[in-house]
Every structure is written in structure tokens, then in C-alpha cells.
Chain A
């Protein structure tokens, strides 16, 4: 069979568009767009939610054509028992939970009966169903409906939720996987004992872009060096750690280093850091790239990453990175590219940041190494072929 005769459904709890920010959502959307470029007929099934905290139905239900993809928006179920879900979530987070709590967590997670009904009625029309990320009730139930044609893009992290028995069953039932990195695939094999041959490491292609750090600095009247972070602001992404480290760094070294943040989510900035954190919120891609280009380093303190899109973007902008050593994926990228350093504790962070601040030649060389790595390994041409191989397997 050729891609031309195939119909692929992509399912994700949110659709990356405008202020709907999220690495997994961006990944699924880009894979869908490039599946269209490869000749597949693509339908994208998602919910009307934009905000990953409230899951309110903000977008109108129905269909729209977005960049050549037919996108169907379905409402999120509004009768979730959120207190029961949160109780189960706390138990699961601590690693001590009952099978009943596991069921409660999945049942009252983000689900959409309307989307599931569509899948029951039209599932036969799709040759492959690409689902992800793994962590949602919607994705679990959708994947289990036709596992023989489901290819997961799990975006798996080493976290308490990954240890649910239900996910073990799901990982061993679906047809195949498109992992983002070798480290993510190895984690899945370790957690679920699945056969490595059913999986492919695909990742996401990165389009090169032009960026101008100087114009960003001028626009925001920034003369001091700054660190940059882009993405969701939440404890799981390590933003509180980054703020704590910056405060200690400024205090201990006396260096005026600022922090530029883009993305969504709440961010508690202490009074000591007021004026040193420039929180831009959601910005256009061009503004984000310019901010990356002007930074001394892009700091990614998350320990739960399956790919790290923003890290690769910062390298395309020619900026070196500082990442948390506990993230095998981000550390792996830095090791392979020589485009960044990894810290395990504050003293290492302090030394590494001082080194980048004091050594411009090293900063430039690391940024260039990172950029070369992304251009060599993450061009859409090679990623697209890997995706076709995974879909046709």
C-alpha cells in the first residue's frame, strides 16, 4: 500500500494552535502535517479544551481545516468527579494506590464521550490511529478501542503515573510506537517489558529559522545577560527550581543575570526576583526565537522530558543550554551535540552559568555545536521517512 491510499487519524487531548501550548500537542500536530505532505489523508480528532489546568471547553465543537488537516473538535466530558480524580491522583503520586483508585483516575481523567462515539462509528475508515500523549484517559480508551491499528506517540516520562497497570496493558496491546528518543524507548521497555522491535524512534523535525537576539534586547531594553525558559510553567517542568536557582545565583555571585520566560501557566516570583524576571507569557514564534537568540543560555530544568522541542529550538537560535542531569533525554541531547551542560545540584549550575557568562568563545562554540546537531539529525526529510516506516510497519 502507498501513503496515497491510507487514511490516518491522529488523536490528542488538545490541538496546538495559538495560545494552546504543549510539546506533545505540537509534536502530534507537526507529525499530522507532515503525514499530509507524505500523501496520507489525515483527520485530527481532539477536544475543545485549550487550558491544560481547567480543561474548559473553550473552542466551539465541529470541524475546521487547519493547514490541510481536517480537525474535529469534541467537547471534554463535563461530568468528571474532579475531587475523586484528585484523591486518586495523590495516591498514585505517592506510589501507594489500589486498583480501584487506578480505575477512578482513568475514568475521571480528561475524557470525551463524543470523540469516543465518533471513533466507534468511523474507526473502520482509518487505516492507522496515532494517539498521544499516554497520560490521559481519552488516549487510553481511544488506544484500547482498536489497538491493532493504533500507533502511540506516548511522550513517556519516568513518573508515578507510568506505573499504572492499565498503561502496562496498553503498551503491550497497541500495534506500535513512535518514540521521541532512544531513552524514552528504553524506559518503555524497562517499565512494560515490551518487545523493542515494535517501536521506532521518530521524534520531530525542526524547521530552521532566522532569529535576532539584539533586536529582542533592544525591544525589551535588556542590557544585562539573561537566561531563557520557554514552555509550561509548573513544578513538573522545573520552573520553581529555576527561579530558586536564579535567586541564589544573583545573591551569591552578585551578578545581574535576568530570566526571560515565555509560555503559559502560573509562576510565583519572589519579591527578591521582582524586576529580574521578564515574563512575556504567550508570544509569537518569532519573538520566542529572538528571545532565545539573545540569551546567555537556555535553561531547561525539567526532569521529565521525552523530546525537548524548546531545547532544540534554542540550539537552532545558536544558544547553548543548561539542563537538569536527571532528564536522560535532555542530557542525551547535550552529550551528543556538545551544545549544552547538565547540572545535578545548585553548585554545578552556578559554576556552569559563570563559565558561560565569562567565556563568550565557549558560549558561541556550544551554540554552534547544538545548531549543527539539530540540522543534521532533526531535518524533516529524515524524520518524515522514519514516520512513514513506522506507519507502514
Chain B
């Protein structure tokens, strides 16, 4: 983002210009995948209701979801907050995790598959309907131009 807009704005602020600058910068960063982030998908969950008719928002949200659908099933470092018996507690936790792994790996890999399938179904529906709407808009535009010529 260029700082120039905001330096000029400090004295006689033009909020419209600043917001337009930010929107352009966000659009550019989006193209580069800067916001393909599960954390953003979570943050936008309530915004969907506000923006359900915004075509671009849905595409952006689906992009963020790509990152969110994969449940992390890898091993992770096991900690213990309590000082007393921490070594013992960590060993117990590690043992429980090893015993559960057999079951949870299977469960979560299936869940990941389902999530990915559902997301690709939603994405293909979105693409299909966007294309349909684009074609219908073209047809309307052509019909309107014919009417104008008459």
C-alpha cells in the first residue's frame, strides 16, 4: 500500500479516497493469496449473513475455506502447565495420544476427505451459477440493445 494517500490525508482528510486506496490494495493482495487463511474464514462466519448477495464475497470466503477445511491430524508437541509431576503428566498424555492416534487418524482423515469434497461441490456450484448469471446478463444486454435499435 502506498503511504502517499495517507500522508496527504492527515491535514484535510478524504475518507472516500483512503477507503478506495485500501480496497485497491486489498484486491491486489487477495490476488496474491494474502488472505487465504482459515483464521479469516472463521472471522467472516457472521459476515456471510450481511454479504450473502455479494458475489465477490462468496468467492473470497470459499478461498479462505480452502485453508480451513483441512483438519490438522499431525503429531503435536505435548505440554503441561502444572509444575508438579509435569514429567509424569506429559508421559501419560503422550501414551493416551498414542493409543488414540489409531482411531483419530482414521476419523479425521475421513473428515478431511468429506470437507474437501463438500467444498469442491460448493465451489463448482458457485462457478456454475456465476457463469449462468454472466450468460443471462449478456443475453439481457443483447436483447436490450436490439430493443434500442428498434
Contact = CB atoms under 8 A, between A and B. Distances in A.
Interface of A: 235, 238, 240-241, 244-245, 247-248, 251-252, 303, 324, 326, 334-335, 337-342, 344-348, 351-352, 355, 359, 361-362, 365-366, 369
Interface string B36-60: 0101101111110011001001001
Given A252-B39, A347-B40, 4 more contacts: A247-B39, A251-B39, A326-B50, A340-B15
Contact of A248 (B12, B23, B39): B39
Contacts, number: 93
B13 A245 contact: no
B47 A345 contact: yes
Contacts of A324: 50
A362 B6 CA distance: 7
B29 interface: yes
B29 A342 contact: no
A244 B42 contact: yes
B87 to A, nearest CB: 26
A340 B19 CA distance: 9
A159 to B, nearest CB: 11
B13 A346 contact: no
A51 B18 CA distance: 40
A326 B1 CA distance: 24
Contacts of A340: 15
Contact of A335 (B16, B22, B29, B30): B16
Interface in B55-106: 57, 60
B26 interface: yes
A341 B18 contact: yes
Given A341-B22, A347-B26, A362 B9 contact: yes
A338 B14 contact: yes
A324 B57 CA distance: 14
A345 B51 contact: yes
Contact of B22 (A337, A338, A351, A369): A351
25 contacts: A235-B46, A241-B46, A244-B45, A244-B46, A247-B39, A247-B42, A252-B37, A303-B50, A335-B15, A338-B16, A339-B13, A339-B15, A341-B19, A344-B51, A345-B26, A345-B44, A345-B47, A346-B44, A347-B40, A355-B18, A355-B22, A359-B6, A361-B10, A362-B13, A366-B15
B44 A365 contact: no
B147 interface: no
A378 B116 CA distance: 53
Contacts of B57: 344-345
Closest 6 CB pairs of A and B: A248-B43, A361-B10, A244-B43, A338-B15, A338-B13, A347-B26
Contacts of B40: 248, 252, 346-347
Given A344-B57, A347-B40, A361-B10, A326 B26 contact: no
Contacts of B26: 345, 347-348, 351
